[in-house]
Amino acid sequence: MSNSHMLSRVEDNRVLILERTFDAPRDLVFKMFKEPEYLKRWWGPKGWELPVCQMDFRPGGVWHYCMKCVDQGQGPFYGMESWGKGTYREIREPEKIVYVDVFSDAEGHTNEDMPATDVALEFVDMGSKTKLINRSVYSSEEALKTVLDMGMEQGISETWDRLEEALQSLK
């Protein structure tokens, strides 16, 4: 199996664990999640951009962002905006980032109809490579099913493909 493949598994019916090894040192992979100008290069699935990325990277700080579909080939999604907000709980550079992720609007108000997610990102030093482990805990089995039905895994897989491309361009 090549490094470009993402491993995915579900635990306890409401925890989604995604893993992938990137061909870049840990400090650089961590920086891609820490600096807005880097995030803008790769965050979001194929054909989506990050026109808004406001970030206060510290525990208790908020990351407010907007993904916008700029690919006309994606039909009804073209021009669509998806707003999200993360609140950082724990940051241990360059090992770990823990945050709560919610759907929001342009003003940063939480969309209470959509499930919130507790996300823990772990950056494992493997010398010249880095294993990224993304552990997302949902409020219920139904909440996890909702995001899986929305195509969450494919979206993250495409996003991580873009992360690998961005890392290669910076190395």
- Residues 16-47 have pLDDT tens digits of 999 999 999 999 999 999 999 999 999 999 99
Strand stretches in 23-141, DSSP E: 48-55, 62-69, 81-92, 96-103, 117-126, 129-138
- pLDDT value for 146: 87
Q: Where are the alpha helices (DSSP H) in the chain?
A: 26-34, 36-42, 141-149, 152-170
Please indicate, yes or no, whether the overall pTM of this predicted structure exceeds 0.85.
yes
- pLDDT value for 9: 93
The domain defined by 7-170 folds into Alpha-D-Glucose-1,6-Bisphosphate; Chain A, domain 4 (3.30.530)
Q: Which amino acid is at 66?
A: C
Q: How far apart are the C-alpha atoms of 51 and 32, rounded to whole Å?
A: 16
Residue 2 confidence class, pLDDT cut points 50, 70, 90? very low
Residue 171 confidence class, pLDDT cut points 50, 70, 90? confident
- pLDDT value for 1: 34
- Residues 74-96 have pLDDT tens digits of 999 999 999 999 999 999 999 99
- Phi and psi, residue 149, nearest 5°: -65, -25
Q: How far apart are the C-alpha atoms of 22 and 132, rounded to whole Å?
A: 7
pLDDT at residue 3 tops 60 = no
What are the structure tokens assigned to 65, written together?
A: 């962002």
SS3 64: strand
- pLDDT value for 115: 79
pLDDT at residue 122 tops 90 = yes
What residue ranges do the domains of the chain occupy? Answer: 7-170
